[in-house]
Amino acid sequence: MKWLIPIIAIVLISRLSFAEEIEVNIMVNDSHPPYVYTDEGDIKGIYIEVLKRVSQRMSGYTLTFTPAPWLRVKKLIQVGTALAFVPPYYHGHDWLYVWPYSISIMDESVVVVCRKDILKTARPNWPEDYVGLIVANNSGYDGFGGATFRKFVKEGTITLAEAKTTQQNLLRLVRKRVDCYMGNQISVQWRLKTMLNSGDLTVAEKESIVEAVIISTDAVYMGFTDRDNGRFYYKRDFVQKFNNEIYKMKKHGEIIQIYKEYFK
């Protein structure tokens, strides 16, 4: 049986060497602006711009993107139907179906924002100062909050209320259906700005929402399914080439420049 191993390796290398470019579909969150989101049917965002540039430079591969709700994205990775997804944090400790991860693309911070009336009492300590409150979160973002927060939720000392999007949660916040919202810092700032411009929020409502505390800062990656059973035979080669391009973009400051373009 030992002779099978080198033969299989030769076959796989041959497929990579002589085949035309492989189209690789990346699953992406459909509601994580300004990082990735859909706008009138078009997929846009900071990560999409980064990935498009990687696609132009990677030899042997072309990237395409399929937006979907985050819970569905994770499910397709879990069952091995999809190869890769963006943008997970590192979940090696609990998402055992994801492996490997790319090198980090950039960092994101998670904050808690509350109405001003909730913050009449100082709440600098997360999550102890939030006991007794209703805290909103985007559905599927089960890594937010930390272990102690999740323990409080399980015990019922903090109520967790989830909705699909940042906009839905911010509207629930100003309408006093929840007390605070736990979300991505830049996504919250971006969505408050667009909601004000569109008339979905008044100036008074926007100003009633205050950032209370930063609760975490984590790197974001491209994650890969570990449940494909060899279906994506090119995975190792793809990961290596993808990492090389991301490394060069970070080293030259290109990713930071893309990020800044979205906030001009």
| CATH class of the domain whose range is 4-105+221-261 | alpha beta
Question: What integer is the mean pLDDT of 162-171?
Answer: 94
Question: What integer is the mean pLDDT of 229-247?
Answer: 97
Helix axes of 254-261 and 46-57: crossing angle, nearest 10 degrees? 140
pLDDT at 37 over 70: yes
pLDDT at 59 over 70: yes
Give the helix/strand (H/E) hosting 214: strand 209-220
Q: pLDDT class for 262, splitting at 50, 70, 90? A: confident
| Residue-range domain boundaries for the chain | 4-105+221-261, 109-218
Q: How many helices (H) and strands (E) does the chain have?
A: 9, 13
Q: What is the pLDDT of residue 119?
A: 96
Query: Who wins on pLDDT, 189 or 5?
Result: 189
pLDDT at 158 over 50: yes
> CATH: 3.60.15.10, 1.10.3430.10, 2.60.40.3500, 3.40.190.10. Which one for 109-218?
3.40.190.10
Arithmetic mean of pLDDT over the chain: 91
pLDDT at 5 over 50: no
Q: What is the pLDDT of residue 20?
A: 74
Question: What integer is the mean pLDDT of 154-167?
Answer: 95
The model's pTM is 0.78
d(CA 49, CA 39): 14
Helix (H, G, I), strand (E, B) or coil at 89: coil
DSSP H helices, the chain, are 4-18, 46-57, 70-78, 146-155, 166-174, 185-198, 203-207, 235-251, 254-261
Question: What integer is the mean pLDDT of 70-92?
Answer: 96
Tell me if 4-105+221-261 shares its fold with 109-218: yes
What is the percent of the chain where pLDDT is above 70? Answer: 92
Cis amide prior to 67 (ω within 30 degrees): no
pLDDT at 2 over 60: no
Is the separation of the CB atoms in 87 and 94 below 8 Å? no
pLDDT at 14 over 90: no
Q: pLDDT class for 7, splitting at 50, 70, 90? A: very low
Q: What is the pLDDT of residue 31?
A: 84
pLDDT at 238 over 90: yes
Question: What integer is the mean pLDDT of 212-222?
Answer: 95
Helix (H, G, I), strand (E, B) or coil at 3: coil
What is the percent of the chain where pLDDT is above 90? Answer: 81
pLDDT digits (tens, 9 = 90+) for 95-142: 999 999 999 999 999 999 999 999 999 999 999 999 999 999 998 887
pLDDT at 206 over 80: yes
Q: What is the pLDDT of residue 145?
A: 92
Q: What is the pLDDT of residue 142?
A: 78
Q: What is the pLDDT of residue 261?
A: 86
d(CA 127, CA 168): 23
